[in-house]
Structure 1
Amino acid sequence: MALGYRARKRLSLAILLIGLPAYVVVAVSLMNWLDARFGRLPIWAEVGVYLGLGFLWALPFRRVFRGVGQPDPDARD
């Protein structure tokens, strides 16, 4: 089912305000768990993991965010 422009805009706002901070907490908790379990990673590996996790969160939501910053295509002029 295709989402309309307004629904995508609201969903993207909810993802950014609720989902992204929750994902950051999960990612940092994962890194802290890895640190406690296996010891601290080298700084280059830690940066790589954070960059990978930072890129990974956006993949499932690409279709939701696509075109949200553009004017509403269904709006009247």
Structure 2
Amino acid sequence: MPKLSYKARRRWSLVVLLIGLPIYIVVAVNFTDWLRARYEGLPVLVELLVFVVLGFLWMLPLRSVFLGVGKADPDEEE
């Protein structure tokens, strides 16, 4: 897999945060609603655990996109 440039990572991180994350939140809430309906109510701690796990799960495949985005451009000449 080719390595993304700094500018490409910045652009992709914006796309993920502005478009992908809201879609993922809707999917996560619908999944939790489905679990609540399927098991006729979830205990609050189980529901919290599901949201915490889903909150970390979205970051794992996108880690390489967000690495170093907040720092100065390493390719830029001074």
Range class of TM-score, shorter chain: over 0.9
Q: Which whole-Å CA distance do the structure 2 matches of 1:23 and 1:13 have between them?
A: 15
1:13 matched residue in structure 2: 14
CA offsets 1:41-60 (integer angstroms, 9 cap, x no match): 11111101100000001000
Deviation at 1:61, TM superposition (A): 0.4
Runs (4+) of structure 1 moved beyond 3 Å? none
Q: What does 1:1-77 correspond to in 2, within 5 Å?
A: 1-77=2-78
Structure 1: 5+ residue runs without aligned partners?
Answer: none
Structure 2: 5+ residue runs without aligned partners?
Answer: none
Instruction: Report the TM-score when normalising by structure 2.
Output: 0.95
Deviation at 1:35, TM superposition (A): 1.1
Residues paired across the two proteins, number:
77
Q: CA RMSD in A?
A: 0.6
Deviation at 1:38, TM superposition (A): 1.3
Deviation at 1:76, TM superposition (A): 1.6
